[in-house]
Amino acid sequence: MKKPKGKYAWTVTVGEKGQIVIPKQARDIFEINSGDTLIILGDEKKGLAIPPKSAFAQFTAAVFETDMDNEGEE
Segment 39-68, tens digit of pLDDT: 888 999 999 988 877 777 787 788 787 655
Q: Where are the domains of the chain?
A: 24-69
Report how far residue 42's alpha carbon sits from residue 50's, in angstroms, rounded to the nearest whole number. Answer: 9
40: how many CB neighbours lie within 10 A of its CB?
Answer: 9
Assess contact for 23 and 12: CB atoms under 8 A: yes
Assess contact for 56 and 39: CB atoms under 8 A: yes
Bridge partners of residue 41, in order along the sequence: 49
Assess contact for 50 and 38: CB atoms under 8 A: yes
Greater pLDDT, 71 or 32: 32
